Each structure stands twice: as structure tokens, then as C-alpha cells.
Structure 1
Amino acid sequence: MAFDVSHLLAGLGTGLCGGLLAGLFGVGGGIVMVPLLGLVLNLDQHRAQGTTLAAMLLPTGLPAVLEYRKRGIASSLPLVGVLVLAFLFGIYGGSLVANRLPSNALRWGFAGFLVLLAIKTHLRQEASQVDRGQTPFDLTALWTWGPAIGLLAGTLSGLTGLGGAVVVIPLLAAKFRMTQHEAQLTSLMMMLPPIGLPGVYVYAKSQGGLPWVVILGVAAGFAFGALGGARLATRMRGARLKQVFAGILLLMAGLMALRGR
């Protein structure tokens, strides 16, 4: 793709929206960026997913991570490491399967999954905030639930172009008793290494390349949006943040369904 200012601006706007969502809710931004790339630039499902994953190869979530840490929110580096390793296996397999499925099937499956996840998020009980210096994370399930969550998140990311955080955040909250803010920070820390590289390779090969101008725009916009989203998130109560997250999931499911009409 030749350089096109309109494509760069479209990427910037899309990345800004995705970054804001990422900083605010700890997700990779694919929830909003995949459908937006389809609507604004008319990219098909597979190309939009590959573009989203490619933009996230850069550590665009670092501004958000630093903001969460600045506000005293904790995470576990051993858990992040286990999640990332398992994620890499899942994303490669998910990307291979995705390129053998029709776009409509992926789109409707994506929408249905988001609806179910929104319901689960709404019903989940928010954990109490504790001082992690006095009460460290319970990592007894590190080698059981850690790999399972990472593998599931990676597979979902490869199939749909999501960062996998929509699985990581609720499962970390449920299995490791993290607060919403702690789970979101852990999810954001998973995005810092280029964990989407296997998926990007598969998509780029099957699509004959990806739109690099759009990718650069998305990455730049995402970094700015993530910082703003993190500042908003750290000023909100966890229970409130969780309910707004559920609403965003429903909104994105509706957007995907409209694209399938």
C-alpha cells in the first residue's frame, strides 16, 4: 500500500479509540479497532484482524502500564510470564484456524461471544482492595490456571483479532482473586512483549501483506489513547469500571452484528 494521508489519519483515529479502551479497561483494543477498520477503511474481517495484531507488536500499552503503577496498583511478574508463554502457542493455532473460516462465521461468532462475556462480567462479584505489600497474590494456581488462561486468550486472539484480554481479565479476577484494576494492569503488561508476532506472520502471509500505513497510524494513536484511558480508569471504583466494561462489550457485539447484515 502506497502512503496515503487519509489512511494514516484513519489509523490514528482508530488507534486512539482502541488505546482509550485499552487504558480504561485493560483490553487490547481489538474489540473496537477490528470493527472500526472494517467500517472506516472497508477492510475485510481477516485483514482488519491482522492489521490490529500488527499494530500491537510495538509496546504501545507502556504509557498505560506506567500510569497504573504510578497509582499504586500491583501485578505479578511470574504470572505475566506464564500467561505470555501460553498465549504464544494459542495465537499461532488460532490464526491458522481463522484463515480457514469464512468472515461471516468469525463475525457472528465474535458477536455472540461478546454478549456472553458481557453477562458474565456484569454478574461477577468485585474483589476487595487489599495492600499487596501485606497480602501478596495467591499464586497456588499459577501452573494450572495460568497456562490455561494464556492458551485460551491466545487462541481467541488469533481467531478474532482481539488481544485476548476479554478472557484474561474476568478469569484472573475469578481464579486469582484480583481486583478489576489489578486484572487490567496484568492484561496490559501482557501486551508489552510482541506476543502477537506468530499471528501477524500467518495473517500477512495469507493476505499478501498488511497495510503498513494504517498499522503505523493505529500504533501511534493507541499509545496516546492508552495513557488517557489509564488516567480515567485509576480514578474510577472497580465495581463501576466492571459494569461499564460489560456495557462496552454489548456495544461492540451490536456493531459486529450490524456489519454482518
Structure 2
Amino acid sequence: MSPEANHLLAGLGTGLCGGVLSGLFGVGGGVVMVPLLGLVLHLDQHRAQGATLAAMLLPTGLPAVLQYRSRGIHTSLRLVGVLVLAFLFGIYGGARVANLIPSEPLRWGYAAFLVLLALKTFFRRELEPVDRTVEPLDLSTGLWTAGAPIGLLAGVVSGLTGLGGAVVVIPLLASRFRMTQHEAQLTSLAMLLPPIGLPGVYVYAKAQGGLPWGVIAGVALGFAIGALAGARVATRVHGAKLKQSYAVVVLLMALLVVLRGR
């Protein structure tokens, strides 16, 4: 089998894993894809992060979004629009900073970020369940004053780490707008439908002299398939169990990053 075919298949498997995680937890999948691209294809930290962002340019999360909506879970398109607009500014700045950091420190910083994320997620206090049949999602206050900072911060984190920004968006939406876990996950997935990672991909591709586009094609295809499967499971699982499972997965990915360094 040619190296190009091997890269495509490796990208497909990596994208499938990332897609399942994305559909399950509402994240961009970078938590899994960045470590696996480094471990399986030996991409350095910068190219792994850039490739992950590039794979998310296509609306690969659309099957998962449709699955959430078919289960009666909804979000606000106005809020999604505000989050996306602010995200575009943040990801450009975050990617610029990331490409000024050498690969080894960037990789260790990425692992440390995953550990902190896992601990924060696991110990985050759950809000009381919200009955949307009685209390609709209230966006009368904070649409811009809270939504824009959340989107901006998510963009900066995404540019720095190659993650989709959901690691910031989901907990902040749950606390600020009192969204349920599933509503916050749907909102995060809806943000991925437009090519919001384009400014970051441009910075990474220019700084790294291009990106492995064959691998990226496989990742994008695998992600779309996996996201649908993950979403079908997520809509049937209690939010608290999703949160705990996500924390465990993030810790495992941090361990993979550390082991790769050894």
C-alpha cells in the first residue's frame, strides 16, 4: 500500500475516534485527534494542531447536529452567530502565538492544559436540571456581553491548542446561560458548521510550509461518520455521566501526549 493510502487510512481512523468523541461530548474532537496524529503519524505538535483545525473546516458535525435536533434538543441561532463572530478573532491571535512557541514546550503545555481541563470538568458542580417545557432558554441579557467573551476565549484556546473551543464553550454556556449539558453540546457543535477555523488554519499552514492534506481528508471523512454515531449515544445518556466520561478521556489523551515525549 502506498504511503498516501496509509496516511489516508490513518487519518480516517483518527477522525473516526475524534468524531465519536465530538458527538458524545459536543467537542471538536481535537482532544483525541491531536495526540493520535502525533502518535500514529509522528506529526510534530504544530502540524498536528494545524491538521486538526483544517479537518474541521468542512461541516463535519452536521450529522450530529441533526441527531440532537431530532431528539427535541434546540439552541439559539443568534447566540451561535455571536459566538462564531468572536471566535474568528480569537483563533487568529491564538494561532499566531502558538507558532511562536517551539514544538516541545508547546506539546508539554498542551498536555498540562488537558490535565487541568479534565480535573475542572470532573469536579465541576452540576446545575439543577432545567425543564425547557416550562422555562425557555433566556437570552434577553448577556447575548453580547457574555456570548462574545466566551466566543473570543474559545477562539484563543482553539488557536493555541488545535482544539475546537468547545472545552471553553460548553462549561461557560452551562453556567452563564443555564443550559443543560445537551443544549450546550448542541450549541458547540453548531459553531463548527461554518469554517470558523479558517484564520487559524491559514496561520498554521503559512508558518509550517503547508499541512498534510491527504491526512486531513481522511480525518474529515472519519469525523463525520463518528460524530453521528457519538451523537446517537449522547442523546440517550444523562449529562452527569457524559461529563465524567469526558474527563476520563481527556486524562487518557494527556497521558498519550506525555508517553509520546518519552
In the alignment, which residue of structure 1 is the partner of 2:6?
6
> Match for 2:120: what amino acid?
K
2: CA distance between counterparts of 1:204 and 1:69?
35
Partner amino acid, structure 2, of 1:42: H
| TM-score (ref. length: structure 1) | 0.96
* TM superposition shift of 1:123: 2.0
**Matched-pair contact (CA < 8 Å) for 1:126–1:239:** yes
Identify the range of structure 1 (242-251 vs 226-235) with the bigger mean alpha-carbon deviation.
242-251
What is the Cα deviation at residue 122 of structure 1? Answer: 1.6
For normalisation by structure 2, the TM-score amounts to: 0.95
Task: Letter of the 2:109 partner, please give it.
Answer: G
Conservation of the 8 A alpha-carbon contact between 1:74 and 1:132: no
Given that 2:146 and 2:176 are in contact with CA atoms closer than 8 Å, whether structure 1 keeps it comes out as: yes
Superposition map of 1:107-146 within 5 A? 107-139=107-139, 140-146=141-147
Q: Is the 8 A contact 2:50 2:201 kept in 1?
A: yes
Comparing 239-248 and 123-132, the one that deviates more = 123-132
Q: CA deviation at 1:58?
A: 0.3
Q: Secondary structure at the match of 1:192?
A: coil
Matched, 1:27 2:30: no
Q: Deviations over 1:73-130 (max 9, x none)?
A: 1211111111101100000001111110011221121221222222221222333444
Partner of 1:253: 254
- Find the counterpart in structure 2 of residue 72 from structure 1: 72
Please list, as runs of the form range in 1=range in 2, the aligned pairs for 1:137-216 lying within 5 A after superposition: 137-139=137-139, 140-216=141-217
Measure, in 1, the Cα distance between the counterparts of 2:146 and 2:166.
Answer: 15
Q: Per the alignment, in what secondary structure is the counterpart of residue 107 of structure 1?
A: helix
| Other-structure match for 1:97 | 97
Contact 2:130 2:179 in 1 (8 A): no
Q: In the TM superposition, what is the alpha-carbon distance from 1:160 to its structure 2 partner?
A: 0.9
Shift of residue 142, structure 1, vs aligned partner: 1.6
In structure 1, stretches of 5+ residues that fail to align are: none
Structure 2: give runs of 5+ residues left out of the alignment.
Answer: none
Distance in 1, matches of 2:257 and 2:217, equals: 24
